[in-house]
Amino acid sequence: MINISPVAFRNGAIALLAVFVLAIIVIGKSGGGSGGHDIYVTTSKATGALNGQYIRAAGTIVGKVAEVKPMDGGRSARLKLHLDDDVWPLPKGTTFTMRWGGTISIFNRYLLLDRGKDGGAEMVADGGDFPAGGFRVPVEYGDLLKVFDKQLRADTKTFLDTSGVALDAAGKPLNRALDVAPGALAEADAVLSTLDESRGDVEALVQSTGRVVDAIDRADPRIGALIQGAGTTLNAIASDVSGLQATLDRAPGTLKKATSTLKRADGTLAGAQQVTDRLAPGVRQLRRIASPLNSLLGTLVDVGPTARATLATAGAAAPDVTKMVDKLASQAPALESIGKQADLALNCIRPYSPEIASFGTLWGSALSNNDGRDNYIRAIPTVSFPAPTNAQYNNSGEALKAFPGATYAFPRPPGTQAGTPWFLPECGAGPDALDPTKDPEARKFDPISQFSAGVGETNVGENNPGETNGAGE
């Protein structure tokens, strides 16, 4: 028989009770509480979303992506987001944004939770659907490179092939045009100033032309009106018979004089005939242009107010135009220098047309998560040279000795990728660009400088063999 003292029995009961209470607390925290909140969002673009991906708010992990389920044959995705109690409920204006893990990391992504202002209405209920407009995915690099389709690549190549030649051919004419531009613009300024000073005369001319055109437009001669006028004339003659008789009495003498005059007029008429013959083609042309001229005069009437307003605007802008011309004239040397530099730069860029086109094609394909129709998985094996220290001290020549399978080219001449380099010494890409011992950025490691300057790198060169390039200088 075992005897237990009252004190030991009391202490044992208290310990057992404490263990029981602790177990209840642990069980309550692990399974008896709410355990967070789940919401769902369906979006047409969920690039980089993975199961177990963290959800962060102000740098703190506040949840994770519990499930990513493809929808509509993979053309959309439904995400289940599990959130901690600390960020619940989600007020109106809350957004989720996909972010990269770092400035040079495109894989370690997370969702950034940006809560709306507290105190407002709840944006989503527990277990409800979050608005797709509040789930944001940044533009991917592959999306930007998709614009380099076959047609755009061909157009880019054509542009690079022709722009250098065009600028080279247009260089001298452009320089001559810039030389004579100030004089021509000064004359144009004088013309505009004269028109501005004669604004009243020009306005009167336009108005008079409008009245003439309006009268011509209203004129519509008829045979009836002509006959009526002839009748009126004959009535007037009949009412003055005595005057007509006196005229007839004087007619013989008048006719004699007219006969002598006509004899003298024969030569004049012969000359007039010649003039008429010469004028006949012009008359025929004048008849043909009568109708277009009528239309033109009608248009002048319509545009008269607009022309006056244009002349007023041109007159007011004359001083600004003069200033602009003076400014262009002062910038002519700079424009000429820019043209020459652009010509040289394009001549150096044009040989890289195949590399430019392949860059858009290969990088766009490497960083894209789909082929334009459906999503697929792409593996990108990457091998990086390990750096033994925080400051890499090997130059290019030493690095190639350590890694015989590597190649060197800086700056890379066009065609190097295909094994047929096209050397451009005038662009800095000559034969020395393939010699690692002539790397223009070569540096030598100096461990002693770590204690004095803080960074173990020293420039190597003939002019500055001991100059240290470090942040501690």
Encode 37-49: b = buried (16+ Cβ within 10 Å), e = exposed.
bebbbbbebbbbb
Determine the 3-state secondary structure of 459 from DSSP: strand
Residues 105 and 157 in one domain: no
Quote the number of domains for the chain.
3
Residue pointed to by tokens 């092939």:
161
Range of the domain at 316: 139-221+277-377
Query: CB neighbours (10 Å) of residue 79?
Result: 22
Regarding pTM above 0.75, the answer is: no
**Whether the Cβ atoms of residue 160 and residue 350 lie closer than 8 Å to each other:** yes
Residues 160 and 124 in one domain: no
> 319 preceded by cis ω (within 30°)?
no
Question: What does the angle CA 265 – CA 270 – CA 274 come to, to the nearest 5 degrees?
Answer: 140
Q: How far apart are the C-alpha atoms of 167 and 213, rounded to whole Å?
A: 50
**Whole-number pLDDT of residue 379:** 53
Residues 133 and 148 in one domain: no
**Whole-number pLDDT of residue 445:** 52
**Whole-number pLDDT of residue 369:** 65
Question: What does the angle CA 268 – CA 272 – CA 274 come to, to the nearest 5 degrees?
Answer: 120
Domain boundary residue among 377, 412, 432? 377
Domain boundary residue among 138, 169, 185? 138
φ, ψ dihedrals at 101, nearest 5°: -75, -20
> Does residue 250 lie within any of the structural domains?
no
Q: How far apart are the C-alpha atoms of 405 and 385, rounded to whole Å?
A: 12
Domain boundary residue among 377, 410, 432? 377
Please name the residues in contact with 347: beta carbons below 8 A apart, sequence gap of 6 or more. 164, 168, 427
Residues 212 and 177 in one domain: yes
**Whole-number pLDDT of residue 29:** 42
> Does residue 155 lie within any of the structural domains?
yes
Q: What single-letter amino acid sits at 445?
A: F
Residues 214 and 284 in one domain: yes
Residues 189 and 304 in one domain: yes
Residues 311 and 196 in one domain: yes
Question: Among 112, 20, 18, 23, which residue's Cα sits nearest to residue 62?
Answer: 112
Q: How far apart are the C-alpha atoms of 466 and 473, rounded to whole Å?
A: 13
> Does residue 272 lie within any of the structural domains?
no
Residues 131 and 176 in one domain: no
Instruction: Give the distance between the most distant pair of CA atoms in the chain.
Output: 187
**Whole-number pLDDT of residue 83:** 96
> Does residue 418 lie within any of the structural domains?
yes
Q: How far apart are the C-alpha atoms of 446 and 437, rounded to whole Å?
A: 19
Q: How far apart are the C-alpha atoms of 440 and 429, rounded to whole Å?
A: 12
**Whole-number pLDDT of residue 64:** 95
Residues 164 and 283 in one domain: yes
Q: How far apart are the C-alpha atoms of 217 and 291, rounded to whole Å?
A: 11
Q: Report in angstroms the alpha-carbon separations of 368 from 50, 72, 91, 234, 372.
A: 16, 20, 34, 100, 9
> Does residue 99 lie within any of the structural domains?
yes
Q: What single-letter amino acid sits at 55?
A: I
> Does residue 315 lie within any of the structural domains?
yes
Q: How far apart are the C-alpha atoms of 96 and 54, rounded to whole Å?
A: 12
**Whole-number pLDDT of residue 32:** 38
Query: CB neighbours (10 Å) of residue 368?
Result: 19
Q: How many CA atoms lie within 13 A of 85 on its CB side?
A: 5
Q: How do residues 109-156 score in pLDDT, each as one tens digit? A: 899 999 988 877 888 999 999 999 999 988 777 777 777 788 888 888
Low-confidence ranges of the chain (pLDDT < 50): 1-2, 21, 23-33, 452-473
Residues 292 and 426 in one domain: no
Residues 119 and 148 in one domain: no
> Does residue 149 lie within any of the structural domains?
yes
Q: Torsion over CA of 161, 162, 164 and 167, rounded to 10 degrees?
A: 180
Residues 128 and 211 in one domain: no
**Whether the Cβ atoms of residue 127 and residue 72 lie closer than 8 Å to each other:** no
Q: How far apart are the C-alpha atoms of 307 and 373, rounded to whole Å?
A: 57
